[in-house]
């Protein structure tokens, strides 16, 4: 079914050239899905991992170290690697 767009409130059918361009655009977006998924995965883990400062402090305290290890494990479980 031919696609339409709305311009200034009026429905207009896409021209053959616009259809081709839109198909290419959607394919390009789909092709980059794995890349986006990996980027989002890294962002999510990074945002919840302990900070470098926390890691350094934990080097000198056994309890802190255990807590840090648990936090990292929990984050990994919460945000598993993409397949």
Q: Which is nearer to other proteins, 12 or 56 (CB)?
A: 12
Nearer to other proteins, 4 or 66 (CB): 4
* Binding residue (CB under 8 A) for other proteins from 15, 21, 54, 70: 21
For strand 4-7 and strand 10-13, is the pairing parallel, antiparallel, or unpaired?
antiparallel
Interacting residues of 71 by C-beta distance below 8 A, sequence separation 6+: 49, 50
Q: How far is the CB of 75 from other proteins (least distance, A)?
A: 12
Residue 76 touches other proteins, criterion: CB under 8 A? no
Tell me: does residue 54 bind other proteins (CB under 8 A): no
Q: The tokens 């655009």 sit on which residue?
A: 25
Q: Which is nearer to other proteins, 3 or 76 (CB)?
A: 3
Nearest CA among 27, 5, 26, 6 for reference residue 14? 5
């Amino acid at each position: 079914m031919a696609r339409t767009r709305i311009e200034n409130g009026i429905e207009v059918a896409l021209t053959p050239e616009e259809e081709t361009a839109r198909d290419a655009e959607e394919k390009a977006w789909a092709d980059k899905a794995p890349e986006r998924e990996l980027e989002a995965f890294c962002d999510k883990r990074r945002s919840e991992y302990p900070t470098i400062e926390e890691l350094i402090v934990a080097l000198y305290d056994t309890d802190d170290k255990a807590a840090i290890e648990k936090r990292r494990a929990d984050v990994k479980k919460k945000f598993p690697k993409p397949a």
